[in-house]
Structure 1
Amino acid sequence: MAATANSQIISSTTENSFVKALAESSTLKSIPTEFTFPNDYTCSNPNSLPTVDFSLLISPDPDQRSKTLHELAGACEQWGFFVLVNHGIPESVLKGAISASLEYFDLPAEEKRRYEAKSPSDPIKSGSGSVINTNNHRIHLWRDYVKSYVHPQFHCPHQPTNLRDTVYEFSEKSRKVARTLLQGIGENLGLEKGYIDEALKLDTCFQLYAANYYPPCPQPDQAIGIPPHTDHGLLTFLIHNGVAGLQIQHNGEWFDTNSPPNSILVNTGDHLEIFSNGRYKSVKHRAVVNTEATRISVVLSNGAAPDAVVGPARELVERDGRALYHSMKFIDYVETMTSNLRMGKTSLDCIKIQDE
């Protein structure tokens, strides 16, 4: 009977494209086979991720700023992840983004189905998602999501009514922080002042809002929220509701991440690896699930302008003697990546220039 019930539930969930209803079913005792993704989600706990104090990065004290620039460079080179503190974005904005996103997932399924993705270029998308594994089998993910392009054109679901203003404010404030970090990164790379802004057309930078909802799972070692992947873009900002679940790969091992309240987890994306000609790495990470608590994360992906052709910075290619990556229009990369969700080879692997 349990198998039959699960089969009926998964049929309904696949049709409706949402996992929340499945997780809340009183008859669910085990995950349906379509979600089976065996994984060992236990991992090491790092002493701590690097921390970057944004207030010191913009400090008029040259010694404090120099020290913070050095810490930023080390975090990008060695971890590809860091905890950003004292960033100046009010705590009310961060909490509001989490709260309004959670309200979205509580909407009736009919409202959320308005945004089911029909093509990679859709500016608003909602659903649960799946990946194709190495055996060419489709695996459903244990999460629901909503995504929207928020810059240079702003798009957002109409419901709940407070989501639009909240996401707009969070994205606007985050762009300013991201741009300052990128200017510091350009300085660390030894690039001319203003080069990174001009080369990547940061005035019209691409920004994506995404909220991920991971409900409790009866078999967390047999399901996955999001499998190992890297992010497109330059810098990804992530906040969450305090429930653990994000794990990162460092020196071949998986580590849990921890971040204090009102901080932002930042990771370097594919395009920063490309632009830096491999100096900064886009690090694999994954989202695991648990049996007890719902996890929600809100992400802002900060990239180059949609029409910017992103390749290794000219000065870095001259220093290194050759480019390690092909150049590609930013939005083409994003849409190629989102339309080919397969385990294994990433979009970044595909544009690396192989040694002869």
Structure 2
Amino acid sequence: MEPEETVPIIDFSLLTSHDPHQRSKTITQLGNACLNWGFFMVINHGVAETLRDEMVRETESFFDLRGEEKKQYAGKKLFDPIRCGTSFNANVDKTLLWRDYLKIHVHPHFNAPAKPSGFSKVLQEYCEKTREMANELLRGISESLGLEERYINEKLGVESSESHQLFVANMYPPCPQPELAMGLPPHSDHGLLTILMQNGIQGLQVMHKGKWVLINPLPNSFLVNTGDHMEILTNGKYKSVLHRAVVNNKATRISIGTAHGPPLDTLVSPAKELVADDAGQTYLGITYRNYLELQQSKSLSGKSCLDRLRFSM
């Protein structure tokens, strides 16, 4: 693997600045990050470090609950409000991955486990903050594409009361033989953006220029990657990024992500403004719900779901 490479850094305070020059410059940087990496760090985002720390602690406390206390959430259905387990898709995965997970549908309907007792309050505030951040980033991304500031949010209803947000926490315990195991195999995410933080233990790798790059986040930063629905919407200009999680034999790694998308029954297709007349539409349209169902019906493997929507050239 290549030495660690610096990923793009977006200063969120400049994106929201009243200085048009600073904001324009940051939008250009954001567009370049989406175009060249599909991945970037966000600093000066305004989310309190205490809230981030509380979210990590509450997540650790959930994973520390006794098995019988978590058993009620061991469902396998995609739209169960809360699910926890040890694999991406227990129905089709051939091998179990070296991780435990917790998945919660937090918007449009907020859900939270009853235990730990402080989890629900922290989760609700954390998800509201990341939703606000995602909406602001999407405004900047719209402008970077030469579209109106609110194009993505209005076309897909991302800021509506029915928009979809999924909270996903992964816990990767120390693995005796990390070279023989995988936390998560290479995959891309559904949705427009995923906003991620972790507990200070490295393990996230991103595919860049055909090589895996180990990500070393700046303190108190968020990691953001573009999802499959960003690739569909932009007709392939801003591609979703392949990433994976590797494990180690020394320390437990916690990662916490929120996936941001449109209402479940929204049809996502390439924006006509981004479809060149000579090239045509690259992807079929699909509702967000149907895409999630398609993804769940397959084992986690690269961008196989997105490839099924691609027109043959």
Q: For the superposition of Structure 1 and Structure 2, which TM-score range results when normalised by the shorter chain?
A: over 0.9
Count residues in correspondence: 310
CA distance in 2, matches of 1:79, 1:103: 34
Which residue of 2 is the match for residue 295 of structure 1? 253
Change (3 A) 1:290 1:314: same
**Corresponding residue SS for 1:71:** helix
Query: Are 1:241 and 2:199 matched, yes or no?
Result: yes
Give 1 or 2: higher helix fraction. 1
| Alignment partner of 1:55 out of 13, 20, 23 | 13
| Alignment partner of 2:135 out of 179, 194, 206 | 179
Q: Compute the displacement of 1:62 (Å).
A: 1.3
CA distance in 1, matches of 2:302, 2:252: 28
Deviations 1:85-122 (A, max 9, x none): 00111111111111100000000101111111232221
Structure 1, 98-107 or 110-119: larger mean CA deviation:
110-119
**Corresponding residue SS for 1:198:** helix
Residue identity matched to 2:70 = K
Structure 1, 192-201 or 86-95: larger mean CA deviation:
192-201
Change (3 A) 1:285 1:66: same
CA distance in 2, matches of 1:101, 1:222: 26
**Corresponding residue SS for 2:308:** helix
Which residue of 1 is the match for residue 301 of structure 2? 343
| Alignment partner of 1:169 out of 107, 125, 141 | 125
Q: How does 1:206-285 map to 2 (within 5 A)?
A: 206-285=164-243
- Report which of the two structures shows the higher radius of gyration computed on alpha carbons: 1
Q: Compute the displacement of 1:192 (Å).
A: 2.8
Residue identity matched to 1:343 = S
CA distance in 1, matches of 2:154, 2:259: 19
CA distance in 2, matches of 1:111, 1:138: 27
Identify unmatched segments of 5+ residues in structure 1. Answer: 1-42
Q: Compute the displacement of 1:236 (Å).
A: 0.4
Change (3 A) 1:187 1:319: farther
Q: How does 1:1-356 map to 2 (within 5 A)?
A: 43-129=1-87, 138-202=94-158, 203=160, 204-317=162-275, 321-343=279-301, 346-355=304-313
Change (3 A) 1:223 1:336: same
CA distance in 1, matches of 2:258, 2:14: 23
CA distance in 1, matches of 2:36, 2:235: 15
Change (3 A) 1:320 1:180: farther
- Do the aligned residues in 2 keep the contact of 1:130 with 1:139 (CA within 8 Å)? no
Q: Compute the displacement of 1:251 (Å).
A: 0.9
- Do the aligned residues in 1 keep the contact of 2:168 with 2:257 (CA within 8 Å)? yes
TM-score (norm 2): 0.95
CA distance in 2, matches of 1:235, 1:114: 30
Residue identity matched to 2:182 = I
CA distance in 2, matches of 1:90, 1:245: 24
Report the aligned-residue RMSD. Answer: 1.6
CA distance in 2, matches of 1:172, 1:344: 30
Q: Compute the displacement of 1:339 (Å).
A: 3.0
Residue identity matched to 1:219 = Q
- Do the aligned residues in 1 keep the contact of 2:103 with 2:168 (CA within 8 Å)? yes
- Do the aligned residues in 2 keep the contact of 1:249 with 1:283 (CA within 8 Å)? yes
Change (3 A) 1:251 1:160: same
Residue identity matched to 2:150 = G
Identify unmatched segments of 5+ residues in structure 2. Answer: none
Deviations 1:287-319 (A, max 9, x none): 000010000011111111212110111211255
